[in-house]
Every structure is written in C-alpha cells, then in structure tokens.
C-alpha cells in the first residue's frame, strides 16, 4: 500500500483489474492490477471512514463494495464516486460472500445471516440454529463459501464445536454436519 500502510482486507472487482484495499487504519485504497498503480486513494479522514478495523470485504458488482467491521457494522462503498455509507450500524461482521442472484450474504459474529441487496437493503435474515446436543452459543468465525452449482452456503466452524453448517440459498434451510 502507499506510504507503507498495512492492509486489513482486500478484494478484486468481479470481472476486472481493479481492487480495493482497506488498511488497518480504515483508509480505503483503489488500485488497478493492469496498470500496476493506485488510481485513487481515500483516507479515513477525508471520507466518512469505516469506523474501526475492517474484518471482511466483498466487491459485489461494478460500483458496489461491502466492507464489514468489527464493531461499526457494514459499509457500502461506491468505488467510482468514493461515496461510503453505513447500511448496518453497530454490528460485528464476520464474513461477506456474493449471493448468486444479486447482493451479498453477510455473516454476523452473533450467528445471524442476512441477504442484502446491492443497495444495502436487508432482504432476509435468519439466526443459525444450534447443532443438536450442543451447548455453545453460535457464531460465525469468518468462514463462509457459496457453491453456484448447488446454490448452497457453507458455514465452517460455528464456535468451539467445530461443526459445519450448510444453508440452501433458496429456502434458507440450515443443516449441521
């Protein structure tokens, strides 16, 4: 990163050479891999910053980037205009994955999952049920992946129980294995 900053999270745009990096200090940097250059830099001081340490990032479509933070929630960034707004305030975000139809699936540290539209609107939310015979509180620990072929979301390692969950993206039915 410019000026020797340390990156916290990064992601490439879905079908292009641009990438976005959020530094540990909350500064947002846009780069171009084809040009090998940073073509725009936003400092957390110049734009409404992400508030605290970024924990997840996902470039959803052309001008839609979601940035999740440890305590300031979920931010929606438009890399073309450098505008950023908080769409889910005061939450702890664990992971963000692209929804195969549109928007993103956001995993919260308290075990909730939400499908958000590209405009940041919450379309659907559910709470992970605890696995049978487990007495631990459920949380998501930064491990989610989407299968386009089966339209399933894998959630790996809830908390200390080491279980994995599988969610059908269409019905939102969750099963533990």
Judged against a pLDDT cut of 60, whether residue 44 lies above it is answered with no
What is the CA 174 to chain-centroid distance, rounded? 20
Rounded to two decimals, the pTM is 0.86
- Give the number of other CB atoms < 10 A from CB of residue 9: 20
- pLDDT band at residue 158 under the 50/70/90 scheme: low
pLDDT in tens, 65-82: 999 998 889 999 988 887
Residues 126-136 as b or e (16 or more Cβ within 10 Å = b): eebebbeeeee
Six-digit token string for 105: 């699936």
Name the 3-class secondary structure at 4: helix
Q: What pLDDT is attached to residue 137?
A: 56
The CA distance from 126 to 42, in Å, is 34
Six-digit token string for 113: 């999952």
From 73, 69, 63, 59, select the one nearest 26 (Cα to Cα): 69
Six-digit token string for 19: 């990438």
Average pLDDT over residues 5-9: 85
Q: What pLDDT is attached to residue 47?
A: 44
Task: State the average pLDDT for the chain.
Answer: 83
Q: E strand or H helix at 174, and its extent?
A: strand 174-176
From 28, 57, 26, select the one nearest 42 (Cα to Cα): 28
DSSP one-letter code for 109? T
């Amino acid at each position: 990163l410019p000026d020797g900053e340390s990156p916290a999270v990064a992601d490439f745009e879905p079908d292009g050479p641009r990438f976005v990096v959020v530094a540990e200090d909350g500064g947002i940097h846009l780069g171009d891999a084809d040009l090998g250059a940073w073509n725009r830099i936003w400092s957390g001081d110049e734009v409404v910053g992400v508030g605290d340490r970024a924990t997840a990032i996902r470039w959803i479509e052309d001008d839609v980037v979601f940035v999740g933070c440890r305590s300031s929630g979920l931010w929606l960034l438009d890399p073309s205009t450098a505008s950023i707004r908080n769409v889910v305030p005061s939450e702890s975000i664990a992971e963000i994955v692209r929804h195969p139809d549109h928007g993103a699936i956001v995993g919260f540290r308290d075990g909730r999952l939400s499908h958000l539209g590209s405009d940041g609107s919450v379309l659907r939310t559910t709470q992970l049920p605890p696995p049978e015979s487990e007495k631990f509180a459920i949380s998501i620990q930064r491990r989610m992946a989407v299968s386009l072929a089966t339209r399933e979301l894998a959630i790996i390692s809830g908390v200390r129980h080491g279980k994995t969950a599988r969610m059908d993206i269409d019905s939102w039915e969750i099963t533990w294995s």
